[in-house]
Chains A and B, each alone.
Chain A
Amino acid sequence: MAMYHLKTPLSDSEIRLLKVNDVLYISGLVVTARDQAHKRLLEHVKTGKPPPMDMSGLAIYHCGPVVKRENEKWLVVAAGPTTSTRMEPFTADLIRGLGVKLIIGKGGMGVKTTEAMSQYGAVYASFTGGAAVLAASLIKSVKGVEWLDLGVPEALWVFEVERFGPLIVAIDSHGRNLYMEVANKVEAERSQIYRKLGL
């Protein structure tokens, strides 16, 4: 369980350093995207149309924030992670097509994403589910917002973050997936648990 503090844009060699269970803090630019934004980003990748911003080396955060507008400025009120599994059908293509290096979310992702992360050098890191105010407190400013037509939670928010974390590296670029490892361990415990329950 090593600890890293990295800044965006993230390089391939930095990403390859990270291993499952490492703790990561990130500074720089993080772009939020949920279901609708993923759909649209994928269209861009497929048609070769450039997305509204260069996302290579940046982080995608599975998050629909609660924001407030005050004197022409956006303030982030709450910005915890949303369940990442829903983004599984899109993520491998986004890593390949956009050069995204870090995916932040909760709950983990599947085989396709894990493979893409090995192949193109990216990691998935978990931010504590429900820790929405902590997340908001680490967002220093809103650098921009795109695709507001999708609604506030679904838009692409560009956040400048400082020491955003703790992020737990849960899928690394070496083929390890912590959620699958935990699931395997749970499976191994199951018969013991049943025995103790008299089943």
Chain B
Amino acid sequence: MHVNLVEETACNLLKQAAVHLPEDVKKALIRAYNSEESEVGKSQLEAILKNIELAEENQAPICQDTGTITFYIKAGSDFKMLRHVEEALVTAVRRATRHVPLRPNAINPINGRNSGDNTGRFSPQTIWEVVAGDFLELTVMLKGGGSENASALSTLLPSDGIKELKKFVVETVVRAGAQPCPPVILGIAFGGNVDLTMKLAKKALLRPLGKANPDPEVARLEAELMDAVNSTGIGPMGLGGRITTLGVHVDYAYRHPATFPAAVAFSCWALRRASARINNDGSVEYLTHRDDELYGHVSSENTFIR
């Protein structure tokens, strides 16, 4: 297996994510279009669907804000290239920024300077999980600023935890309004420590839409919250309508008796993620996108629009 395989695969994932929405998100948007009753709301969903098609046709990023980049890495303990992964991902980000292109969104918060290539301290972010096996599973998520600004974290009163949580979710969605480009996807988590809670909330956005939490009690909470959010009337783009969210994904962790942290992570309708698995034998399986959505390697010139 060549060292570059990780870089190559990550590059392809970045392009897939920026240009093609995963099937489950596309399907959810089509369902939303069919069930939206507000005429204005429907017009927004129609524009979104048209935009998705044009992005694929032109091989252009779906939205000009290609967001910040997070890699979720499931690392098999016997995967041969483990020690090269971090470096390969940084190089992949540099290349993809030039060739997809991705908007340079990494800014030094101290002096305001943009690195120009989406890399910098903790950029891209890498979240590791080590498992037994001889493969590497990479998932990239691109997350825009509009939806990130709507996220919220709170430490609730433990005595009334779940009730407080429901209220917190509704309040957060109402406060966000049009800002995160609804219909949104919500990742919600509670319990744990504040850092873990937000991490779980974000990670819940990776779960395919339409797949409920396997725990029936949590699944019930998801359905209840989805119904609540879709009763607010915020609607597509906050212009009024039925469909404010495409999916609510809930996760939790055991908590300290005195604390009840809760986190709400938003994704805009443009939930951009892509996954692949690299095996020790050098084979690569793309998990979220079809093969014909690869369009060759991003490294070759002229892969970009027009």
Contact = CB atoms under 8 A, between A and B. Distances in A.
Interface of A: 1, 21, 23, 64-66, 68, 70, 75, 77-80, 83, 85, 106-108, 126, 128-134, 136-137, 166, 168, 170, 178-179, 181-183, 185-186, 189-190, 192-194, 196-199
27 contacts: A1-B39, A64-B64, A66-B64, A77-B61, A78-B61, A85-B179, A106-B181, A126-B239, A130-B51, A130-B63, A131-B48, A133-B60, A133-B62, A166-B44, A168-B43, A170-B239, A178-B240, A179-B178, A182-B234, A182-B240, A193-B170, A193-B228, A193-B232, A194-B167, A196-B227, A196-B228, A196-B231
B166 to A, nearest CB: 5
A186 B39 CA distance: 18
Contacts of B179: 83, 85, 107
Given A128-B44, A130-B48, A130-B270, A106 B237 contact: yes
Interface in B151-170: 163, 166-167, 170
Contacts of B305: 68, 77
Contacts of B238: 107-108, 179, 182
Contact of B51 (A68, A77, A83, A134): A134
Contacts of A134: 47, 50-51, 54
A80 B146 contact: no
A81 to B, nearest CB: 9
B48 A194 contact: no
B257 to A, nearest CB: 23
B234 to A, nearest CB: 6
A182 B40 CA distance: 12
B128 to A, nearest CB: 30
Given A126-B237, A186-B233, A190-B174, A133 B227 contact: no
Interface residues of B, number: 48
Contacts of A136: 60
Interface centre among A1, A179, A186, A199 (most CB of B within 10 A): A186
Contacts of A23: 40, 43
Contacts, number: 146
Nearest to B235: A182
B306 A192 contact: no
B231 A193 contact: yes
Nearest to A65: B64
Contact of B43 (A65, A130, A132, A166): A166
Given A130-B270, A196-B227, A185 B170 contact: no
A182 B233 contact: yes
A85 B103 CA distance: 22
Contacts of A166: 43-44, 46-47
B269 interface: yes
Contacts of A85: 179
B64 A197 contact: no
Contacts of B232: 186, 189-190, 193
B51 A133 contact: yes
A178 B181 contact: no
B177 interface: yes
B89 to A, nearest CB: 23
Contacts of B63: 78, 80, 130-132
B138 interface: no
Contacts of B270: 130
Contacts of B146: 83, 129
A181 B240 CA distance: 9
Nearest to A64: B64
A133 B179 CA distance: 20
Given A130-B270, A132-B62, A136-B60, A189 B231 contact: yes
B233 to A, nearest CB: 5
Nearest to B179: A107
Interface in B251-291: 268-270
A75 B306 contact: yes
Contacts of A21: 39-40
A149 B106 CA distance: 20
Contacts of B233: 182, 185-186, 189
Contacts of B61: 66, 77-78, 132-133
B34 interface: no
Interface centre among A85, A108, A134 (most CB of B within 10 A): A134
A168 B64 contact: no
Contacts of B78: none
Q: Which 3 pairs, one residue from A and one from B, show the smallest C-beta to C-beta distance? A: A78-B64, A129-B181, A131-B51
A74 B64 CA distance: 16
